[in-house]
Amino acid sequence: MQIVFEYPSWFLFFCIAAGALVSWFLYRRDKTFESLSPWLIRTMAVLRFFAVTIIAILLLSPLLKTNLREVEKPIIVVAQDNSESIVTGKDSAFYRNEYVESFNKLVKQLSDKFEVKTYSFGDRVEENKEFNYTDKQTDISGLFDEINNIYGNRNVGAVVLASDGLFNKGTNPIYSSAKTLAPVYTVALGDTNVRKDVILSRVNHNRFAYLGNNFPLEIIADAKQFKESEVTLTVSWDSTKVFEKKITINSDNFSETVPVILEAKKPGLQKYSVRLSPLKGEVTQRNNTTEFYIEVLDGRQKVLIVANTAHPDIAALRQAIEINENYEVDVRLIENMDRNIKAYNLIVLHQLPSQKPAAASLVQNVINAGIPAFYIIGNDTKLQSFNSLKLGLELQVRNNSVNDAVAVLEDKFSLFTQDDELKKNIQKFPPLQVPFGDYKLSTASSVMLKQRIGLVNTDMPLLYFSQQGENKIGVLIGEGLWHWRLSDFAINGNHNVFNSFISKIVQYLSVKTDKSLFRVNAKNHFTESEAVVFDAELYNESYELINEPEVNMSIVNSDNKKFPFTFTRTGNAYRLNTGNLAPGNYSYEATVSVGEKTLNARGRFTVSALFIETVNIVADHQLLYNLATSTGGKMFYKNELENLGNEIASREDIKPVIYNQKKLRDVIHFKWLFFLILILLAAEWITRKRSGAY
């Protein structure tokens, strides 16, 4: 430690001189102190000297400089696969008992020298969880992402990964582990021997079908070590057998793809079961059966895209909308427009109205027909004609120039929910080309995206929604959406964020307005590893969002057992996360009291079981070997955990890190100095009073 002054150190002489001068002035030879003994006078003078000197020194703003030396042990991350596939084979008892003891010994062995962090992974990554092998999926890449996020700047010495090498969620862990600078040691679990088994590997199907139409299935059936055997494949709907086929297994490594055509006979969410008859000697029968759900719709909604000219935005929009099979998309250029617009639920007008003669009449016909419209403004849009439509925005462009505008989400937007992924990615997307000029937006419009020009967030709208009479309209002020789609794939490896963004816009504009005061929104199908989430909205008589009253929900399973829940308030709406529910069919009823009225919302949903962990039970030790060698580690087997601990402990490159940190702190903040001064002055005062002086 060291005392540092903001002023020259020779100023201390003045502080000492000030203390001495005050003491001398008070206790010089004076008739007041003639009756006191000399030692008592000197004692009081010394007390006053130190008190004044300390106060004077504090006026120099002294700082206490400390050098802290901190030693951080190397961190060893030990992660255990908690998925069902670990205990599917013959050694399930070993992994539940003896292996757990060996794993705990390894952790204790490493803890003597290192800081050990234990994790389990499967559906999700959890710290310090006792593994029970119940996770329905395995995401090894998610583990490495978690390690990189938490320990990216820490002294990680090694990662120990105990798994069977089978993953069915996330990306290939070889690529994810490349970001981890520490060596990865793998513990090879599971059985690599091919055992007798009949496997229902996959059922490929569409999410939607239309009432009265046929829809296809593609069923992949595999068999191991069952040559010259026969199994029966059956497909059932509502306990009714709708398809059956005998399959002859003609090799020990057999696979066959069976095409099936079924008819959608009933609207709503329909449950189908696929089953392969079991054979004697199978290692497990859990992978012989699977279930899937298809939503049967009464009909599609039609979307018409009319463009001024050919443009990459058109393809991006079409692909995003057609992801949802509930929508049918037609695309036309304005000069080839020969469709009856009244047959459509939504019309997208790309860079219309324009200079072309047919544009003005088409736009006016859309307005007169009362069809919801989504306007996309671009370089070819005739802004004078657009302003005359009175769509809530007036644009006065300067010199026909454009700006590059990055999208910024408006926090107060509430017409529909925004995905967390969109919130994270929207400002990473490339800018759109927008007109440069003056924007005058109606107060009745609801802005979802604003423009950021350069580094400045503006109040100018980029995407807003409004009403034209009873009709919904949306206006995107800019072109270049196709860049967003490409950027989404570059960032996330898919187009899900962009597709969801466009789908929500189309859904909001095309769906007829729900005038009910209380609404509950949720998916109608979840998997057992997925949290069941509900969103609710409550409106007053003026159709203003409110969330003061409490919203309760009762969920009933197929055994008529009720589960009560209460929604939490989020902003000006409600949300309920029930967590994971057991597979089965459920119904729900949500209730809320507003004044003297009680409002209700009812619905149904299904939670399906996941069998993906039982499809492949042959361990992939080659993946674990590649994972270890590519990062500078080694692969060990389940009975070599002690050797693994010795290997890590013997590595010379796994060393503690020493941090030196300098801190400066104002001395005046030390409370004990206040009490020291108080004691000095109090002692002097008490001594004077007891001696009869004043």
Asked whether residue 484 carries a pLDDT value surpassing 80, the answer given is yes
pLDDT of 475 reads: 96
For residue 218, CA distances in Å to 103, 236, 266, 285, 659 come to 42, 15, 21, 21, 60
CB 217 within 8 A of CB 192: no
212: left (phi over 0), alpha (psi -120 to 50) or beta: left
What are the pLDDT digits (tens) for 6-29? 788 888 898 899 989 988 888 776
Q: Categorize the per-residue pLDDT at 386 as very low, low, confident or very high, splitting at 50, 70 and 90.
A: very high
613 in a domain, yes or no? no
Q: Do 624 and 603 fall within a single domain?
A: no
- Cα–Cα nearest to 362, from 394, 396, 390, 332: 332
Q: Do 264 and 361 fall within a single domain?
A: no
CB atoms within 10 A of CB 515: 7
Q: Do 177 and 147 fall within a single domain?
A: yes
Q: Categorize the per-residue pLDDT at 260 as very low, low, confident or very high, splitting at 50, 70 and 90.
A: very high
The rounded percent of the chain whose pLDDT value lies above 90 is 44
Q: Do 477 and 491 fall within a single domain?
A: yes
What are the pLDDT digits (tens) for 193-204? 878 889 888 888
The strand pairing partners of 667, in sequence order, are none
In three-state form (DSSP H/G/I as H, E/B as E, the rest C), the secondary structure along 505-542 is: HHHHHHCCCCCCCEEEECCCEEECCCCCEEEEEEECCC
Asked whether residue 346 carries a pLDDT value surpassing 60, the answer given is yes
Length of the chain: 694
Q: Is 274 exposed, middle or buried (0-12, 13-18, 19+ CB in 10 A)?
A: buried
659 in a domain, yes or no? no
> Which CATH number characterizes residue 124's domain?
3.40.50.410
- Choosing from 479, 510, 541, the residue where a domain stops is 510
Query: Average pLDDT for residues 303-316, to the nearest whole number?
Result: 94
CB 111 within 8 A of CB 195: no
Q: Do 320 and 392 fall within a single domain?
A: yes
Query: Average pLDDT for residues 263-272, to the nearest whole number?
Result: 86
Q: Categorize the per-residue pLDDT at 432 as very low, low, confident or very high, splitting at 50, 70 and 90.
A: very high
- Choosing from 510, 545, 576, the residue where a domain stops is 510
212 in a domain, yes or no? yes
What are the pLDDT digits (tens) for 594-616? 888 899 999 888 888 777 767 77
598 in a domain, yes or no? yes
Q: Do 330 and 475 fall within a single domain?
A: yes
pLDDT of 514 reads: 62
What are the pLDDT digits (tens) for 215-235? 999 999 999 889 989 999 999
- Cα–Cα nearest to 129, from 137, 117, 120: 120
- Choosing from 510, 541, 575, the residue where a domain stops is 510
For residue 507, CA distances in Å to 307, 417, 445, 504 come to 20, 12, 18, 5
Q: Categorize the per-residue pLDDT at 534 as very low, low, confident or very high, splitting at 50, 70 and 90.
A: very high
Asked whether residue 281 carries a pLDDT value surpassing 60, the answer given is yes
Asked whether residue 462 carries a pLDDT value surpassing 80, the answer given is yes
- What is the domain count for the chain? 5
pTM, 2 dp: 0.53
101 in a domain, yes or no? yes
Comparison of pLDDT for 66 and 474, the residue scoring more: 474
pLDDT of 405 reads: 94
Q: Do 349 and 465 fall within a single domain?
A: yes
Cis peptide before 353 (omega within 30 of 0): yes
pLDDT of 285 reads: 83
The strand pairing partners of 120, in sequence order, are 80, 126
628 in a domain, yes or no? yes
Comparison of pLDDT for 285 and 634, the residue scoring more: 634
pLDDT of 211 reads: 79
pLDDT of 551 reads: 95
Say which residues have a Cβ less than 8 Å from residue 262's Cβ, sequence separation at least 6: 214, 215, 217, 235, 237, 242, 243, 272
What are the pLDDT digits (tens) for 319-337? 999 888 778 899 999 998 9
The rounded percent of the chain whose pLDDT value lies above 70 is 97
For residue 666, CA distances in Å to 11, 63, 64, 662, 681 come to 18, 5, 6, 14, 23
pLDDT of 35 reads: 67
Q: Do 424 and 375 fall within a single domain?
A: yes
Comparison of pLDDT for 104 and 71, the residue scoring more: 104
Asked whether residue 511 carries a pLDDT value surpassing 80, the answer given is no
pLDDT of 93 reads: 86
Can you tell me the distance from the alpha carbon of 552 to that of 520, in angstroms, rounded to the nearest whole number?
11
What are the pLDDT digits (tens) for 541-593? 877 889 999 999 999 998 899 999 999 998 889 999 998 898 888 999 999 99
CB 166 within 8 A of CB 621: no
What are the pLDDT digits (tens) for 132-189? 888 888 899 999 999 999 988 888 999 999 999 888 888 888 888 888 889 999 999 9
pLDDT of 104 reads: 92
> Which CATH number characterizes residue 246's domain?
2.60.40.10
Comparison of pLDDT for 35 and 543, the residue scoring more: 543
Asked whether residue 625 carries a pLDDT value surpassing 60, the answer given is yes
pLDDT of 191 reads: 81
Q: Categorize the per-residue pLDDT at 496 as very low, low, confident or very high, splitting at 50, 70 and 90.
A: very high
pLDDT of 179 reads: 82
Asked whether residue 660 carries a pLDDT value surpassing 80, the answer given is no
Asked whether residue 694 carries a pLDDT value surpassing 60, the answer given is no
b (16+ CB within 10 A) / e for 239-262: eeeebeeebebeeeebeeebebeb
Asked whether residue 485 carries a pLDDT value surpassing 60, the answer given is yes
Q: Do 59 and 109 fall within a single domain?
A: no
Q: Do 347 and 458 fall within a single domain?
A: yes
Query: Average pLDDT for residues 683-687, to the nearest whole number?
Result: 85
658 in a domain, yes or no? no
CB 498 within 8 A of CB 484: yes
Q: How far is CA 501 from the centre of its chain?
A: 16
Q: Do 673 and 535 fall within a single domain?
A: no
pLDDT of 77 reads: 94
Asked whether residue 60 carries a pLDDT value surpassing 70, the answer given is yes
656 in a domain, yes or no? no
What are the pLDDT digits (tens) for 203-216? 888 877 887 788 99
pLDDT of 553 reads: 96
Output the average pLDDT for the chain. Answer: 88
Can you tell me the distance from the alpha carbon of 383 to that of 209, in angstroms, rounded to the nearest whole number?
42
Say which residues have a Cβ less than 8 Å from residue 475's Cβ, sequence separation at least 6: 374, 375, 376, 377, 391, 392, 393, 461, 463, 464, 465, 466
> Which CATH number characterizes residue 577's domain?
2.60.40.1220
Domain containing 316 equals: 301-510
Q: Do 391 and 482 fall within a single domain?
A: yes
